[in-house]
Amino acid sequence: MSTDLDVDALLGDAGKHVIACCGSGGVGKTTTAASLALRAAEVHGRRAVVLTIDPAKRLAQSLGMEALDNTPRPVAGVRDGSLDAMMLDMKRTFDEVVASHTSADRAAEIFANPFYQAVSSTFSGTQEYMAMEKLGQLRATGRWDLIVLDTPPSRSALDFLDAPARLARLLDGRVIRLLSASTPGARRSMLSLMGASAAVFTRVFNKVLGGHLLTDVAEFTASLEDTFGGFRKRAEATFRALQDDQTSFLVVAAPEPAAVGEAVYFTRRLTEERMPLDGMILNRLTPVSADLSAERALGAAAQLEEADPEDPVAAVLRTHADLARRRAAEERVAARYAAACPEVPQRWLPSLGVEVVDLEDLRSFGAAAAGVHSELSAERRCPQAVENRTRPDGWPSGRESLSGPRMRGLPVRS
Partner 1 sequence: MTASALPVPRLHIVTGKGGTGKTSVAAALALSLAGPGRRALLVEVEGRQGIAPLFGAASLGYEERHLAAGAGGGEVFGQSVDADEALLDYLALFYRLGSAGRVLQKFGAIDFATTIAPGLRDILLTGKLKEAVSRAESGRMAYDAVVLDAPPTGRIVKFLNVTVESGRLAKTGPIGKHSRSVARMLHSSLTNVHLVTTPAAMPVQETVDAYKELAAADLPVGRIVLNKVAGAKSGEVTEDELEAGLARAGISPEPALLAGLMAEYGSAREELRAVDAYRDRLEQLGRPVEELPLLPEGVDLSGLYQLARALGGEA
Residues 366-405 that bind partner 1 (CB under 8 A): 384, 387-390, 396-397
Q: Please tell me the count of residues contacting partner 1 according to CB under 8 A.
A: 91
Strand partners, 51: 86, 149
Q: Of 104, 208, 339, 378, which lies in the binding site for partner 1, with binding defined by CB under 8 A?
A: 208
Alpha-helix runs per DSSP H in 113-256? 114-117, 126-141, 158-172, 174-181, 190-194, 196-209, 211-227, 229-243
Q: Of 186, 237, 241, 316, which lies in the binding site for partner 1, with binding defined by CB under 8 A?
A: 316
Site for partner 1 in 255-274 (CB under 8 A): 256-259, 261-262
**Nearest distance in Å: CB 322, partner 1:** 5
Q: Which contiguous run of DSSP H or E holds residue 43?
A: helix 29-44
Q: Of 6, 12, 45, 56, which lies in the binding site for partner 1, with binding defined by CB under 8 A?
A: 56
Beta-sheet pairing, 73-74 with 82-87: antiparallel
What are the strands of the beta sheet with 146-150, ordered from one edge? Answer: 73-74, 82-87, 47-52, 146-150, 18-22, 247-253, 277-285, 346-350
Q: Of 99, 186, 191, 213, which lies in the binding site for partner 1, with binding defined by CB under 8 A?
A: 213
Q: Of 2 and 319, which CB lies nearer to partner 1 in the complex structure?
A: 319
Residue 335 makes contact with partner 1 by CB under 8 A: no
Handedness of CA 287, 285, 277, 126 (dihedral sign): negative
Site for partner 1 in 340-359 (CB under 8 A): 353, 355
CA distance 148 to 32: 10
Which of the 8 DSSP states describes residue 63?
Answer: T
Q: Of 49, 75, 252, 288, which lies in the binding site for partner 1, with binding defined by CB under 8 A?
A: 288
Q: Of 47, 73, 92, 325, which lies in the binding site for partner 1, with binding defined by CB under 8 A?
A: 325
Q: Is 373 left (phi over 0), alpha (psi -120 to 50) or beta?
A: beta
Part in contact with partner 1 (CB under 8 A); list of ranges 44-52, 225-233, 268-276, 301-309: 301-309
Q: Of 318 and 347, which CB lies nearer to partner 1 in the complex structure?
A: 318
Q: Of 73, 92, 326, 406, which lies in the binding site for partner 1, with binding defined by CB under 8 A?
A: 326
